[in-house]
Amino acid sequence: MEVKTYIPKAADIERKWFVVDASGKTLGRLATRVAEVVRGKHKPYFTPHLDTGDFVVVVNAEKVRVTGGKLDDKMYYRHSGYISGLKETNLRGMLARKPENVILLAVKGMLPKNNLGRRLLTKVKVYRGPNHPHAAQRPAPLPL
């Protein structure tokens, strides 16, 4: 008797939409849950090398909470491509200017570092305020 491993086909994968309110949620715990749902680890047919996950809409990104001294100690780096073009911003500055990127970068760090991870990151939609343009997909609230 030969036992076959079940691999879901693209047509078998059911995609859902979830919405998360980031108000008062801790950044790392929120990002962990979002990464888990985007990867599809909450589904019984999770397969590590396939995109089996769901879409997640995060609202109120500017109201996310961080613990300890991370507001001033945590740094974000980017490079312009020119000599001595390394720019750094702390978490306080990022939350003031681009709070969406704070959550996106936290989730990105928890996804695979390959083509699959880049494709999964496109399923995370983050918005600064309480409004989002995905009402037509009827997203369900995601329990944290």
Tell me, yes or no, whether 51 lies in a domain: yes
Which CATH number belongs to the domain containing residue 117 in this structure?
A: 3.90.1180.10
**What's the whole-number mean pLDDT along residues 15-34?**
97
Tell me, yes or no, whether 70 lies in a domain: yes
Confidence of residue 68 (pLDDT cuts 50, 70, 90): very high
User: Residue 116 — φ and ψ, nearest 5°?
Assistant: -65, -45
Tell me, yes or no, whether 5 lies in a domain: no
CA dihedral 34, 104, 67, 76 (to 10 degrees): 150
Quick: pLDDT tens for 92-122. Answer: 999 999 999 999 999 999 999 999 999 999 9
Confidence of residue 141 (pLDDT cuts 50, 70, 90): very high
Tell me, yes or no, whether 8 lies in a domain: no
Number of domains in the chain: 1
Tell me, yes or no, whether 71 lies in a domain: yes
Consecutive H or E run containing 96: helix 91-97
Give pairs for 98-105: CB < 8 Å, separation 24+. 99/61, 99/62, 99/64, 99/128, 100/61, 100/126, 100/127, 100/128, 101/76, 102/27, 102/61, 102/64, 103/22, 103/27, 103/30, 103/31, 103/34, 103/58, 103/61, 103/64, 105/76
Tell me, yes or no, whether 142 lies in a domain: no
Tell me, yes or no, whether 34 lies in a domain: yes
Quick: pLDDT tens for 80-99. Answer: 999 999 999 999 999 999 99
Tell me: pLDDT of 70 over 90.
Answer: yes
> Which residues constitute the domain of residue 78?
17-137
Question: Strand, helix or coil at 4?
Answer: coil
Tell me, yes or no, whether 12 lies in a domain: no
- What pTM value is reported for the model? 0.93
pLDDT at 17: 98
pLDDT at 16: 97
